[in-house]
């Protein structure tokens, strides 16, 4: 019988996976074609379900609990740890940059009559989040289950409300020139490895439930994403916007859009705080940087990146997913291969993955990094 912690573990994983990436998926689907993007979504779902299970097995094969950074040091050494640390810091900064861009757009939708410029939205969102980070709000994890229920209600309500306005012909476009556009955005949207250690902690004493929790927790976002893509692409057509919501405003309007914008604000706000606290702890604990300098770094570097105007919402998400998501995934596979041989604990489950498949995954991620850097990346 599944206990309450089992469902809380699932909610934690779902709440971690479903973030601002959901708003970039419809734009990618419109650019490349709905069915091409759906192919990426379902194909990469199986990849990330496997990656999450692999990380779960790594954790269960190791007596001491760590984040991915710690497992890289244990199984691959200090040099690899430094590389992953660099990737983690840049990835966290990139994530905070994305959340400011999305948060500003949602504020513009909610307070459009008062905000005359998108930069006002960016600065207001950043200022509020910075104040919360300074206070050190750490109750975010307690809201995961509530946020999950709210998210499910919003997506289902929007889908049912927008169903009569869906134009099925919008789903049959195809642009071969943008065939790879959904890759990085989908990678960004499905990644949830940072939550796997928390899943293990929640299920401590019931680790045999981890495999099921990881599979369900990775599958639930797939359903939300697919429904959201159908809704936005089907309703908006060529009016699909990079943040999805503003493009829907002209088609659906009214309280539905405000509800979605409020949901978006809550989603990016909680994620921004989690990323900010994670980055501060990384700087203090792993790089031994002074606490106050770390706080200043976390507060001001993200807004400085926004002011540099490095790219659009979709471009930056695609870059982060394709490059940093790909590099992190490569290291995870390498750690898994080593943990299989050198782990110091008998795991509650053990995957039987052919070495050929593991090497193929590394090659796919490496190709994604190369393509994003040299052919698809603007940042």
Per-residue pLDDT of the chain (379 residues; tens, 9 = 90+): 466 789 889 988 888 888 888 889 999 999 999 999 999 999 999 999 999 999 999 999 998 777 888 899 999 999 999 999 999 899 989 999 999 998 988 888 888 777 777 788 899 999 999 988 887 655 555 555 676 677 778 778 877 878 888 899 999 988 989 999 999 999 999 999 988 988 998 898 888 999 999 999 999 999 999 998 998 899 888 878 777 777 676 666 667 778 778 878 888 887 788 788 888 888 887 788 898 899 999 999 999 999 998 888 889 999 999 999 999 999 999 999 999 998 888 999 999 999 999 999 999 999 999 999 988 755 4
Q: Which residues contact 293 (CB under 8 A, 6 or more apart)?
A: 283
- Residues 42, 186 contacting (CB under 8 angstroms): no
Measured between alpha carbons, how far is 86 from 55 in angstroms, rounded to an integer? 20
Measured between alpha carbons, how far is 88 from 84 in angstroms, rounded to an integer? 6
Hunting for tokens 């106050």 — which residue is that?
292
pLDDT at position 379, please? 46
In degrees, rounded to 5, the angle at the alpha carbon of residue 335 between the alpha carbons of residues 190 and 286 is 85
Contacts 24+ apart (CB under 8 A), 82-86: 83/331, 84/328, 84/331, 85/282, 85/286, 85/287
- Considering only CA atoms, which of 247, 160, 241, 192 is closest in space to residue 50? 192
Structural element, H or E, at residue 209: none
- Residues 261, 193 contacting (CB under 8 angstroms): no
Instruction: Give the predicted TM-score (pTM) of the model.
Output: 0.89
Question: b/e per residue, 62-81, with b = 16+ CB within 10 A?
Answer: beeeebbbbbbbbbbeeebb
């Amino acid at each position: 019988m599944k206990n309450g912690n089992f469902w809380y573990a699932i909610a934690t994983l779902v709440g971690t996976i479903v973030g601002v990436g959901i708003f970039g998926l419809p734009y990618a689907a419109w650019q490349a074609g709905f069915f091409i993007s759906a192919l990426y979504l379902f194909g990469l779902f199986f990849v990330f379900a496997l990656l999450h299970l692999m990380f779960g097995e790594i954790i269960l094969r190791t007596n001491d609990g760590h984040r991915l950074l710690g497992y890289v040091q244990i199984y691959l050494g200090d040099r690899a740890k430094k590389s992953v640390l660099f990737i983690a810091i840049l990835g966290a900064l990139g994530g905070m940059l994305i959340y400011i861009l999305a948060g500003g757009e949602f504020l513009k939708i909610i307070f459009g009559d008062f905000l005359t410029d998108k930069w006002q939205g960016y600065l207001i969102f950043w200022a509020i989040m910075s104040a919360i980070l300074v206070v050190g709000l750490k109750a975010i994890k307690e809201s995961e289950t509530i946020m999950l229920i709210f998210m499910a209600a919003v997506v289902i309500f929007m889908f049912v409300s927008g169903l009569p306005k869906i134009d099925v012909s919008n789903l049959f476009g195809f642009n071969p020139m943008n065939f790879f556009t959904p890759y990085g955005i989908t990678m960004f949207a499905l990644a949830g490895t940072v939550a796997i250690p928390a899943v293990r902690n929640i299920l401590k004493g019931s680790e045999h439930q981890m495999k099921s929790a990881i599979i369900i927790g990775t599958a639930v976002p797939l359903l939300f994403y697919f429904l959201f893509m159908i809704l936005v692409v089907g309703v908006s057509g060529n009016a699909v916007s990079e943040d999805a919501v503003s493009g829907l405003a002209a088609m659906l309007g009214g309280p539905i859009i405000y509800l979605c914008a409020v949901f978006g604000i809550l989603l990016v706000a909680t994620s921004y705080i989690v990323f900010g606290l994670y980055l501060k702890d990384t700087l203090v604990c792993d790089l031994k940087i002074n606490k106050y300098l770390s706080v200043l770094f976390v507060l001001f570097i993200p807004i400085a990146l926004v002011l540099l105007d490095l790219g659009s919402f979709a471009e930056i998400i695609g870059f982060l997913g394709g490059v940093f998501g790909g590099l992190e995934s490569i290291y995870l596979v390498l750690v898994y291969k080593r943990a299989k041989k050198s782990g110091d604990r008998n795991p509650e489950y053990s995957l039987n993955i052919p070495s050929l498949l593991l090497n193929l995954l590394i090659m796919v991620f490496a190709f994604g990094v190369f393509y994003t850097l040299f052919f698809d990346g603007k940042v």
